[in-house]
Amino acid sequence: MQNLNAPDLADWLADTARAAPVLLDVREPWEIETAQIAGCVWIPMNEIPARSEELDDEAPIVCVCHHGRRSASVAMFLESRGFTKVFNLQGGIDAWSREVDPKVPTY
């Protein structure tokens, strides 16, 4: 698993020459209702073991949570399942809100 900071993720998403990553949001429903990055795939952390087959193990996946701890755990789990292009959004959606898109509410 590699860590990725919010500005680097924003650059990646803006780079049309590079394959866009799957943004995997692993937060709870109330958190998704509060704030989210557009285009995320939402699978709550506790559902990942049962639903990981829904994800393309060849695609780059950036795991997202509130501050980066849960997403780091999910990223490590996905790697243990054979996913090879897994990233953790360091600082989570909180860092995204503060460093990239202030329109995304903090909580």
Q: Pick the catalytic residue from 4, 48, 65, 74.
A: 65
Structural domains in the chain, CATH included, are 2-99 (3.40.250.10)
For the stretch 22-71, pLDDT in tens is: 999 999 999 999 999 999 999 999 999 999 999 999 999 999 999 999 99
Known catalytic residue at 65: yes
Average pLDDT (10-33) is: 97
**CA distance linking residue 66 with residue 89, whole number of Å:** 9
* Residue 97 confidence (pLDDT): 98
Average pLDDT (72-87) is: 98
